[in-house]
Amino acid sequence: MVSELSPTPGARSVSADTEGPRPPMPVKMVIAGGFGVGKTTTVGAISEIEPLTTEASITSVAAGIDDLSHTPEKMTTTVAMDFGCVTLDPTLKLYLFGTPGQERFGFMWDDLVEGALGGLVIVDTRRLDDCYAAVDYFEHREIPFAVAVNAFDGKVEHDLNDVRWALDVGDHVPLTVFDARERGSVRDALLVVLEHALATAQQ
Amino acid sequence: MTVGGGVTKAGTTREVKGEDEMTAGEPSAADDAWGVEHPPSIVRPFLLTAGRIAGGDSLVPTIPIETQVVATDLGLATLDAFVFDQHRDIITICRQPQSLAEIAAKLRMHLNVIRVLADDLRADGQLALYAPQAESARDATVLRRVIDGLRAIPDSRGAIRER
């Protein structure tokens, strides 16, 4: 079904006729992190629309088990997912999807993350544990990502090197501090991810 | 378009069970808002999809959530002929290109139900679907365009980021 190449530069048509307004090419990034870490705030700070909420299905597996074939019980759960978008130009639209956080479960976001340009893992230094799952996921799927410490009060309680050590992310993973409430700060955090993705793509 | 066919075995509906517990489309001030109820539709989602689901282990192909959906002239012309409001609603809001995710959020329907309905309407020529370009995530040209586009976004004070 998703196979035909359309004459449209950018978007790939999956239907025979292409009447109507020509849509922009959609691209997406994923905003991940634990519960209440500021994912929706981040999306809302830069989105041209009020963040919308939809329900996504995620497949949860028991924590610590990576190989699905070894887990007879996998649960599909319906969770809320917040998202927003930015029209970068008439032919290009960036969607930002906040991943549903499931702190005590491993999870599969494949449906959501497939084709994403990159991921931003938001960290609250008071609750570092909450973001391990997201870091593991992006590393496992080899999706370019950066870690962004949300400085809730404009300051960070820990040295960034300590955060990097605690998260056990390699030096190749960009680590930055941002303020989820500030559009410019969110933009710059996303740029950190994209520049990392570009460097990775050019290797 | 046919909506008959009957609901398939009960097990296939597990993906969207608890539809009544789904959260509402209200953008909430709280991060990760959960568990807000919304009034259920008279027509149950699985009557509309004839029991079919998308995503997970489903045989229905998974359409990317950012896929752009636009009503075709045929879809708009047959707007009054739809039996179900949901089909008409999808065509109506797709006068302007929308992503699948936006359709689901605005119509307060499960993403996987929208996937099935949008694919039905596409098969009937009433919607055009534009999936994202394959491999764009690894395409330096695409990445540069996104970077340039983002850089042009002013911060809250209206300044443009230095290159």
- For chain A, the structural domain boundaries read 25-201
For A81, nearest residue in chain B (alpha carbons): B32
For A192, nearest residue in chain B (alpha carbons): B147
CA geometry: angle at B138 spanning B137 and B141, to 5°?
Answer: 90
- CATH 3.40.50.2020 at A25-201, yes or no: no
Binary contact (A21, B70; C-beta < 8 A): yes
Tens digit of pLDDT for each residue in B39-56?
Answer: 555 566 667 777 676 655
Interface contact A65, partner B, CB < 8 A: no
Nearest to A41 among B31, B130, B133 (CB): B31
pLDDT at B38: 46
The C-alpha of A177 sits at a distance from chain B's nearest C-alpha, in angstroms, of 16
Using CA atoms, how far apart are residues A50 and A40, in angstroms rounded to an integer? Answer: 10
Q: Which of A22-26, A181-185, B12-16, B150-154 has the lowest mean pLDDT?
A: B12-16
Which of A53, A92, A112 has the most B C-beta neighbours within 10 Å, making it the best mutation to test the interface with B? A53
Residues of B within 8 A of A97 (CB-CB) are 65, 101
3-class DSSP state of A82: strand
C-alpha torsion A82→A175→A37→A78, nearest 10: 40
The range of the structural domain enclosing residue B99 comes to 10-132
Using CA atoms, how far apart are residues A84 and B27, in angstroms rounded to an integer? Answer: 10
Listed residue (A72, A96, A75, A102) closest to A84, CA to CA: A96
Find the length of chain B: 163
pLDDT at A148: 96
Residues of A within 8 A of B112 (CB-CB) are 57
Other CB atoms within 10 Å distance of the CB of residue B93: 15
3-class DSSP state of B136: helix
pLDDT at B32: 37
Average pLDDT over residues A178-193: 96
Residue A203's pLDDT band, with cuts at 50, 70 and 90, is confident
Burial of A2 (0-12, 13-18, 19+ CB in 10 A): middle
Residues of A within 8 A of B134 (CB-CB) are 12, 115
For B155, nearest residue in chain A (alpha carbons): A184
Average pLDDT over residues B92-112: 93
Could you tell me if residue B158 is inside a domain? no
Q: Share the mean pLDDT of chain A.
A: 80
Average pLDDT over residues B61-83: 90
The C-alpha of B63 sits at a distance from chain A's nearest C-alpha, in angstroms, of 8
DSSP designation for A84: E
**Domain tally, chain B:** 1
Q: What is the DSSP string of B92-133?
A: HHTTS-EEHHHHHHHHT--HHHHHHHHHHHHHTTSEEEEEPP
For A8, nearest residue in chain B (alpha carbons): B130
Listed residue (B98, B87, B79) closest to B45, CA to CA: B87
Decide if A192 contacts A199 (C-beta within 8 A): no
Listed residue (B88, B84, B104, B1) closest to B43, CA to CA: B84
Using CA atoms, how far apart are residues B1 and A7, in angstroms rounded to an integer? Answer: 27
Residue B17's pLDDT band, with cuts at 50, 70 and 90, is very low
Chain A from 135 to 154: CB within 8 A of any B CB: 143
Which has more confidence, B61 or B65?
B65
Which has more confidence, B99 or B7?
B99
Residues of A within 8 A of B63 (CB-CB) are 1-2, 14
Using CA atoms, how far apart are residues B11 and B14, in angstroms rounded to an integer? Answer: 6
Residue B160's pLDDT band, with cuts at 50, 70 and 90, is low
Tens digit of pLDDT for each residue in A155-175?
Answer: 777 788 888 998 889 899 999
Could you tell me if residue B57 is inside a domain? yes
Residue B135's pLDDT band, with cuts at 50, 70 and 90, is confident
Q: Which of A122-136, B23-37, B68-82, B90-104 has the lowest mean pLDDT?
A: B23-37
Binary contact (A79, B34; C-beta < 8 A): yes
Interface contact A118, partner B, CB < 8 A: yes
Binary contact (B133, A12; C-beta < 8 A): yes
Q: Residue B8: pLDDT above 80? A: no
Q: What is the DSSP string of B50-67?
A: TT--BSTT-SBPPPPTT-
Tens digit of pLDDT for each residue in A84-135?
Answer: 999 999 999 999 999 876 544 445 567 778 889 999 999 988 888 888 888 8
Q: Residue B19: pLDDT above 80? A: no
Decide if A53 contacts A81 (C-beta within 8 A): yes
Q: In what order do the strands lie in the sheet with B127-131?
A: A12-13, B127-131, B68-71, B98-99
pLDDT at B155: 81
Residue A11's pLDDT band, with cuts at 50, 70 and 90, is low
Interface contact A42, partner B, CB < 8 A: no
Could you tell me if residue B53 is inside a domain? yes
Which of A1, A6, A13, A14 has the most B C-beta neighbours within 10 Å, making it the best mutation to test the interface with B? A14
Which has more confidence, A22 or B39?
A22
Nearest to A2 among B31, B61, B151 (CB): B61
